[in-house]
A and B are shown apart, each in its own frame.
Chain A
Amino acid sequence: MSLLKISDLRTYFKMEGNVVKAVDGVDFELEKGEIVGIVGESGSGKSVTCLSIMKLIPEPPGFYPTGSIEFMGKDLMKLNTKQMSKIRGNQISMIFQDPMSSLNPFLTVETQLTEVLEIHQNKTRKEAQKIAIDILERVGIANAPRRIKQFPHEFSGGMRQRVMIAMALLCRPELLIADEPTTALDVTIQAQILELMKDLNRDFGTSIIFITHNMGVVAGMTDRIVVMYAGKMVEKASTSDLFETPKHPYTNALLSSIPRLDIDDQGSLTPIPGLPPDLSDLPSGCSFHPRCKFADDQCKAAYPDRIELSKDRMAACWKVNV
């Protein structure tokens, strides 16, 4: 049995009369120890997917018209707030996009770390403090016994993201959701954080959902990849398949927008023309057709069926077999 099985997840927002379909049909599974990537342009629904798994979408305006999230045999959709908070931070942890604003500026790092152990494992402050210092050292924060007494503003961006990672790992969760953990950081720090996450996955066997809009980053990190466009899952494949034989024109476009070191000719780097659509006013048929160079009348008329190409390999496009 897989650790996490998401089926037909839909997350909509009711906004002034119309409905924004931020996530509209996402299915994937995650095995223990696996790293799955979710990629897509800004606004494609990556963060909403993750927040839905944690049940952290504000309701209202958000609601889930369909979907189940089976995690270790339980459907998270059926849990109440109290049951859900026993899982959050304990069995599923999340790291957010912006480390600068994701820590509480009014509390010391120690308070913010130890409270996790106090609520989930009934540790005393002293025991919790020791574990917290150990884990801070593990994620590469020098001088942890002194640093832990400080406030977030005394840490650099990279260091804060390390604190966030430490916080997420305190209870050794089965699943870590990392929502663009490196986007706000500069390139060398990015590489360090990615390396750290790979180490943790290897050493603790933590499964990871890794979100990014940077195809270059997922290549070296993930086992499998889910590609999202305008709230819909458009392709799903193992990382190697996806990079070698991308099936969806959108995946293809994302891939050719990666800067590559091995090709000198930077002219071949083509950004995707046009902009992602407005979610409350989607184009007819396939949402990608206005930007797709293969689009024809069929693409404008109807949304393509999902085509199962092999086990764990799917693409939603009329032109898959072309």
Chain B
Amino acid sequence: MLFFIAKRLVGVVITLFVIITLSFLIIRITPGSPFSQERDVPVEVLEALKAKYGFDKPLHKQYFQYIGNVVKGDLGLSIKYSNRTVNEIIKISLPKTMQIGFLALIWAILVGFVGGAIAAVKQNTKWDYGLMSIAMCGISIPPLVSGPLLILVFALALPWFPTSGWGSWKHVVLPSISLGSVYAAYIARLTRGGMLEVIRSNYIRTARAKGLSEKAVVVKHALKGGILPVVTFLGPAVASIMVGSVVVEKIFNTPGMGPYFVDAAFNRDYFLLMGVVIVYAVFLLLLNLLVDIAYGFIDPRIRFE
């Protein structure tokens, strides 16, 4: 088990290295420069700026220097916010993104799993049809649509939550729901499918034959098998939630990492862009590892090798 985790961690580091290298290349090879917007800058000033960020050196030198800094935990200076380091910006914005992302994930798992399980247990009843229709709607409404809708209803028509910004727990609710709903819907459908398959299986018949109550059959014998497809889905789901959070943060004007990511891309803010990419990548890789470990804990037939 520990060996498995260690092995996977080595894999994470290697993948991360490849990601950093590729994004460095892509970002630097695409035309444009961080300073191209400032038209009337004298040549001397431009040269001085380039020297400040090390852009006067050959690309491979810059690359090795950057890698060296990243290993030390230094993500460099932002170009647009010229007196702030990338570390500083991420330190302030990452927790906000994480709050929204995790809340969205938890909401998606809770609602999706409970809804899906109820639909499966009450297959072909009003409950099943109702829940699955809601799920169908959920899947077809992406955050780009659900965000403004939620603002219209729960911030403007009914003034329960603020429309945008950051500050109290109330600011987190609408963005998380908007972000999580699609995944709640997916998870509900997956859970229903998984549970139905389990409920038809021989070992559930055995559980009934033992005299267990219907509730015990579901809770003790069916849930574990039914949750497996959901766990498998969590890896990709986390990835898309992260991407989705960029959109949601823009809509709700949340000072998370999303807006920085978009702006950095437009402004050619090389180091900030790289920093955000690295943080996203680390998260994704670690969460995927976590999912694999969870899978092994749920299913005893899986051996960690």
Q: Is the CB of A105 within 8 A of B221?
A: no
Q: Is the CB of A104 within 8 A of B301?
A: no
Q: Is the CB of B205 within 8 A of A102?
A: yes
Closest to A55 in B: B208
Which residues in window 80-114 of A have CB below 8 A to B? 81-82, 85-90, 93-94, 96, 98, 101-107
Which residues of the partner chain B approach A90 to less than 8 Å between Cβ atoms? Answer: 211
Which residues of the partner chain A approach B225 to less than 8 Å between Cβ atoms? Answer: 104-106
Q: Is the CB of B207 within 8 A of A104?
A: yes
Q: Is the CB of A120 within 8 A of B203?
A: no
Q: Is the CB of B209 within 8 A of A89?
A: yes
Range, interface on chain B = 20 to 34
Which residues of the partner chain A approach B52 to less than 8 Å between Cβ atoms? Answer: none
Asked if B62 lies at the interface with its beta carbon under 8 angstroms from chain A, I say no
Q: Which of B208, B210, B301 contacts A105 (CB 8 A)?
A: B301
Bound-state CA distance A94–B207 (Å) is 11
Q: Is the CB of B220 within 8 A of A151?
A: no
How far apart are B194's CB and chain A's nearest CB, in angstroms? 13
Which residues of the partner chain B approach A119 to less than 8 Å between Cβ atoms? Answer: 210-213, 216
Q: Is the CB of A103 within 8 A of B206?
A: yes
Which residues of the partner chain B approach A56 to less than 8 Å between Cβ atoms? Answer: 205, 208-209
Given contact pairs A96-B206, A104-B221, A151-B301, A115 touches B212 in the complex (Cβ within 8 A): yes
Bound-state CA distance A102–B214 (Å) is 17
Which residues of the partner chain B approach A167 to less than 8 Å between Cβ atoms? Answer: 206, 210
Asked if A116 lies at the interface with its beta carbon under 8 angstroms from chain B, I say yes
Which residues of the partner chain A approach B133 to less than 8 Å between Cβ atoms? Answer: none
Bound-state CA distance A107–B220 (Å) is 9
Asked if A314 lies at the interface with its beta carbon under 8 angstroms from chain B, I say no
Given contact pairs A115-B220, A153-B301, A105 touches B209 in the complex (Cβ within 8 A): no
Asked if B299 lies at the interface with its beta carbon under 8 angstroms from chain A, I say yes
Which residues of the partner chain A approach B209 to less than 8 Å between Cβ atoms? Answer: 54, 56, 88-89, 93-94, 96
Q: List 23 A–B pairs whose Cβ atoms lie within 8 Å, in order of A's numbering.
A: A85-B211, A85-B213, A88-B208, A88-B209, A89-B210, A93-B210, A96-B205, A102-B202, A102-B203, A103-B203, A103-B206, A104-B206, A104-B225, A105-B203, A105-B299, A106-B225, A106-B300, A107-B220, A107-B221, A115-B210, A120-B211, A151-B301, A164-B206
Q: Residues on B close to A: CB < 8 A?
A: 201-203, 205-214, 216, 220-221, 224-225, 298-301
